Structure 1
Amino acid sequence: MALGLALATPSQALAAEGGNPLILDAKEIKEDGITLGHAEARTITDQVRAPGEVTVDAYSTALVSPRVASQVVARKVKLGDVVKAGQPLVVLSSVDVAETQGQLIVASQDWARVASLGPQAVSARRYNEALVQRDQARAKLKVYGMSDGQISALVKRGSSAADGSFELLAPRDGRVTTDDFVVGERIEPGRTLFTVVAESSVWVEARLAPAMAEQARPDAAATIVAHGIELKGTVIQRSHQTDEKTRTVAVRIKVTNDKDLLHPGELVEARIDIASQSRPLAVPAEAVVLLQNQATVFVKGKAPGQFEPLAIEVGETRDGWTEVKAGLQAGTPYVTKGAFALKARILRAQLGDE
């Protein structure tokens, strides 16, 4: 399919004068960044669309809870705060912790005396008992939620520190998204005090019909549409169970959320790429330009360094590739990069700009 005479005439006129704007030397080709390729069939990805719900990235989420019955003494952070790993979140007090703190202080002092005498001065049993009692008390406090640094500071402070108070620390960097408790409240073991979420990424749970879900492969590209913005994501998991109520299958998509645009509970649209069964002729989207409102590519001409505009009929564009329905034959050399530079040369020639 050839271009119209109105477009071809200026190039032909300039060619007669030795000034065809589409005949370039090697230097001009390099400066314009022009590269050639051969037209060929390519698998174009299709997309399936489905509603989705934003959820927290469970692999980047931590629950903070006491492991022993306690009472809240003081709050260190509040809902929405950004915290760092190891940062104190809340001060608790526990009778069980107080007893164990006292046991550790006594056992540490006892072990210090026995260790200074050495195994030659005391029986092996006495030596081992002192060591085990100290280590058991340390281990018990770690089970209660105290860190090695907190335990070491406790031992240094001595008997005055055995008051049963201790701080729960943030297990990771993140934002506090729940803090459902009040100061003075008695907290049972396992009760969640804080949820700390790394919001740099979130999950989107998309619901697809079983047949469509089968085509959503792990690592497949996905696009999440929310707030009028498209965000890139990747399929990471597909459920192997169909929901009995909706008869749909959950497909989990991981989405980078550096700008904090997505929040758990939001409803979004998920578009998941799946491989099409067809292999149409396709060219890079940047190889197609509009000349006189006609989709056009540039093909290699007969003379060295010569290029010719060729009108084509295009289909959909996916993943940076545009389907060519007519006008271009497979195997034809065409300009894959630099088409806009060639278009600019034609327009300058038409305007008489030297």
Structure 2
Amino acid sequence: MTLRQTPRILLLPLLALMAASPAFAATNPLLLDPAAIKAAGIVVDTLAVRTVSDQVKAPGEVKVDAYNTVLVSPRVASQVIARKAKLGDIVTAGTPLVVLSSVEVAETQGQLIVASQDWQRVASLGAQAVSARRYNEALVQRDQARAKLKAYGLSDGQIARLIKRGSSAADGSFELLAPSAGRVTTDDFLVGERIEPGRPLFTLVSESSVWVEARLAPAVAAQVNEGDAVTVVAHGAELPGKVLQRSHQTDEKTRTVAVRIQVPNASDQLHAGELVESRIAIASTSRHLAVPAEAVVLLQNQATVFVRGKAPGEFEPVAVEVGDTRGGWTAIKQGISAGVPYVRQGAFALKARILRSQLGED
């Protein structure tokens, strides 16, 4: 007996048991009409050689997507007058976050109002009525005051409203606006506190996607490439992702390499700081006969694949020797050959029909 004959011989006790069953003798449970095939969800495919991807598993930590994260801070020394947004709020671009007051802003507001009024007078007279130098000075003074306020963080809309209101608006107060949409994840300040330029008051995070940082051994990380598919397992769910980049530096303490994974997070399932499992698919250079893992069932403790029989609508169980399962595909070592039509989906339904037939059930 050769090794290639083993799967067929192993299946003989099963076939003998089925043939001895009165229910099986009366009617073949693996002979189905088109309606029964459709109801069982049976899909037939042709066995072929394919490149089976490998999978690397590694723990990962969820981090905010830094490319979609914004720090909001004043550009001039200010005092906090009122809070407009709080931790956890979801804001849109242009939403007022906090009201600040600044001496420097008050001085520049006054300069802009005076320069704007002066420019309006000069412009109404026209370039022919005043000297070119006076005309240009008025224009430059207005534009410089406007540019200074923009450098302090005021928007064009805020500046336009300031000019419209006139001198009563030059009180040094202004609203710090959200530069982009996102969720407020930090707001570490108090009303009345003096804030120095550049100190972050808010962190706005767009949670439509997050990063997962997985750490791999250098030899394993070398097999990971940008764009590789990743499955992130968290909270009992599997979320798709892809490799953004692999670090080119090994951590001196852990001797691991960081791999950054981007994961869509529209359902808000992942949050920064959580620990998850990442499964990175790595393309293998080896090719094998392979079937989806669900196409292999156990009959009499023997791995079995159903193939198309001789009669229309008929299926037959064939014992197979299987290899590793990678990426949802199970390698077939022996038992069936390439080109054979097999049951890709619905193998469990056929197994159930055999078991019911052995029990004498319809």
Do both share a fold (TM > 0.5)?
Answer: yes
Flag the 1:10–1:160 CA change in 2: closer, same or farther, 3 A.
Answer: farther
Is 2:16 the partner of 1:9? no
Query: 1:282 matched to which residue of 2?
Result: 290
- Cα offsets for 1:278-329 (capped at 9, x unmatched): 3232102332344455433221222344321212233443333222243222
Is 2:335 the partner of 1:302? no
- Cα offsets for 1:123-143 (capped at 9, x unmatched): 444333333322222221111
Paired with 2:302 and 2:130, the residues of 1 have a C-alpha distance of 98
| Structure 1 residue 13 displacement after superposition | 7.1
Is 2:91 the partner of 1:97? no
Query: 1:205 matched to which residue of 2?
Result: 213
The answer to whether the 8 A contact 2:80-2:99 is kept is yes
The answer to whether the 8 A contact 2:23-2:357 is kept is no
For 2:111, what is the secondary structure of its paired residue? helix
How many residues are paired up?
A: 352
Paired with 1:345 and 1:317, the residues of 2 have a C-alpha distance of 26
Query: 2:50 matched to which residue of 1?
Result: 42
TM-score (normalised: structure 1): 0.87
TM-score (normalised: structure 2): 0.85
Paired with 1:83 and 1:53, the residues of 2 have a C-alpha distance of 26
Flag the 1:7–1:297 CA change in 2: closer, same or farther, 3 A.
Answer: farther
For 2:212, what is the secondary structure of its paired residue? strand
Is 2:80 the partner of 1:72? yes
Unaligned runs of 5+ in 2: 1-6
Flag the 1:120–1:12 CA change in 2: closer, same or farther, 3 A.
Answer: farther
Is 2:156 the partner of 1:172? no
Choose from 225, 229, 232 the match for 1:221. 229
Flag the 1:321–1:11 CA change in 2: closer, same or farther, 3 A.
Answer: farther
**What residue identity is the alignment partner of 1:271?**
R
Paired with 1:269 and 1:21, the residues of 2 have a C-alpha distance of 42
Query: 1:62 matched to which residue of 2?
Result: 70
Query: 1:194 matched to which residue of 2?
Result: 202
Is 2:239 the partner of 1:235? no
Query: 1:158 matched to which residue of 2?
Result: 166
Query: 1:53 matched to which residue of 2?
Result: 61
The answer to whether the 8 A contact 2:55-2:327 is kept is no
Paired with 1:52 and 1:27, the residues of 2 have a C-alpha distance of 47
Is 2:332 the partner of 1:324? yes
**What residue identity is the alignment partner of 1:322?**
T
| Structure 1 residue 215 displacement after superposition | 0.8
Flag the 1:211–1:168 CA change in 2: closer, same or farther, 3 A.
Answer: same
Unaligned runs of 5+ in 1: none
For 1:199, what is the secondary structure of its paired residue? coil
**What residue identity is the alignment partner of 2:221?**
A
108-117 or 154-163, which deviates more:
108-117
| Structure 1 residue 239 displacement after superposition | 0.9
